[in-house]
Structure 1
Amino acid sequence: MQLGTEAEGSGLPPGEVELVELPGVGGAGRITRIEEVDYQGRRVPTAVRHTLIPVPHSRDYLVLAGSTR
């Protein structure tokens, strides 16, 4: 799994990509980055993480997304 140095012209900063092993599931990809979001008119650094989990017996992925502020 690879993430380019720029997130394909999306304006998002590059993220850290890692492969993780999930118990009972197997390998999954995880992308983590820090983004600045507008919160009530202020720019607030926010951690964002997406985990891509392969769906068994399919070519689909389940995407779990989370963020903090």
Structure 2
Amino acid sequence: PVVVTDDADWGGWRVPGAEYNRDPGLIEYQARLITAAPQLMKLAEEIMALTAENPEDAPPAVLELAGRARTI
């Protein structure tokens, strides 16, 4: 599999065939995680921004998520 690292790039990260043959499901999961990382970061930043604006209005569970996101 190829993970595209830039919109103008044909792909920047490749898994050697021998490694891919070991556990294709794991390699596919890792590739999807790498490609989703920017979206997950944006989501975490949005949660932190929401709780920073009105921390007293945020449910405790959301405050906990924002704290964990900040730590990560």
Measured against the shorter chain, the TM-score band is under 0.3
Structure-2-length-normalised TM-score: 0.25
- Identify the structure with the greater strand proportion: 1
Structure-1-length-normalised TM-score: 0.26
- Identify the structure with the greater helix proportion: 2
